[in-house]
Amino acid sequence: MPRPCRIDDCPRMALPRRTVCSTHRERIRNWGDPDFTQWTVADDMDVRLLVEQQRVPDGATRLERRLIGVGLSARGMSAAQVAEVVGVDSRTVHRWRASARQTAA
Ligand SMILES: [Zn+2]
């Protein structure tokens, strides 16, 4: 059953197993859409896969980096290891972990 694209006012249907249409997906990939900020766009499917692969693509949004970082932490990686994979300071990883714990509580 196809679902509509989750972007407000988008008339297109989402791609199979995705929450956005192909156009918005490309825009998210490239950070090109002014409707998006780096903090609010993440693709659930991608994040899960990337955590498994311990990989962060060049076009990853800030939120995706954070979700991947938290995912890797949950798998027992040290903050320093996570920081290296995600490409941030290890202090940032500690901050992500702290706020993820708060959200879960
Ligand atoms: Zn769309």
CA of 12 to the centre of ligand 1 (A): 5
Q: Are residues 60 and 100 in the same domain?
A: yes
Q: Which two tokens stand for residue 25?
A: 């997906």
Closest to 43 in 3D by CA, of 28, 58, 23: 28
CA of 47 to the centre of ligand 1 (A): 19
CA of 9 to the centre of ligand 1 (A): 8
Separation between Cα atoms, residue 95 and residue 38, nearest integer Å: 18
Q: Are residues 62 and 99 in the same domain?
A: yes
* 72 close to 93: Cβ distance less than 8 angstroms: no
Q: Which two tokens stand for residue 56?
A: 């962060």
Expressed as residue numbers, the domain containing 71 is 44-104
Neighbours of ion ligand 1 (CB under 5 A): 5, 7, 10, 12, 21, 24
Q: Are residues 50 and 93 in the same domain?
A: yes
Q: What is the pLDDT of residues 39-74, one digit of tens each?
A: 556 666 678 888 999 988 877 778 888 889 999 999
Q: What is the pLDDT of residues 10-34, one digit of tens each?
A: 788 899 988 888 878 877 776 555 4
Q: Are residues 31 and 76 in the same domain?
A: no
Q: Report the domain count for the chain.
A: 2
Q: Are residues 72 and 89 in the same domain?
A: yes
CATH code: domain of residue 73: 1.10.10
